[in-house]
Amino acid sequence: MRHSIKIKKTTRNRLKELSALLDQYRVFYEQETDPKKVYKFLKDRYRKNQSTIYIALINNKIVGFTQLYPTYSTVSLEKFLILNDLFVVKEYRGHGIATQLLNKAKKHCVKNGYKGLALETAANNPARKLYERERWASDSNFIHYFWARK
């Protein structure tokens, strides 16, 4: 059965509901569940206008989301977006929701004059097939490093 999917920018009154999905997303990446911390994190990003979050709705219920963070490239002297998060609730996968969220992110990028979108994902993430199908190019020119405080 095909569902009517709406993609919208999130609002403050949706953050509590959205935080439950963000918590599921973190658990997917092997993080401990922490609903209170997740909600505070989302609320802070929203309040400080530090990210743009699009939600996927079916019957007014959030079933997926993507979160975009702005950043800059000194080399190209342009701004771009990091598509940091993309998640669809398990029972709604396979309905094209992730593709619609990716397309909304692309439209947001173009409309707001960003150079492009960057994302990184785990090597074993099944969503890699989606990115490749949607013509996202894997970057083999750069190696990503990460320093973590102890």
Do 87 and 26 touch, CB atoms closer than 8 A?
no
pLDDT tens digits, one per residue of 116-128: 999 887 777 777 7
- The residue ranges of every structural domain in the chain are 5-133
Q: How confident is the model at residue 20 (pLDDT cuts 50, 70, 90)?
A: very high
Read off the pLDDT of residues 56-70 as tens digits, 9 standing for 90 and up: 999 999 999 999 999
User: For residue 130, what pLDDT is reported?
Assistant: 80
Helix axes 15-28, 35-47, angle to 10 degrees: 120
Stretch 91-120: mean pLDDT, rounded? Answer: 94
Superfamily (CATH) of domain 5-133 = Gcn5-related N-acetyltransferase (GNAT) (3.40.630.30)
Q: Side-chain half-sphere of 98: how many Cα atoms within 13 Å?
A: 20
How are the residues of the chain apportioned to helix, strand and coil, as percentages rounded to the nearest 5? 35, 25, 40
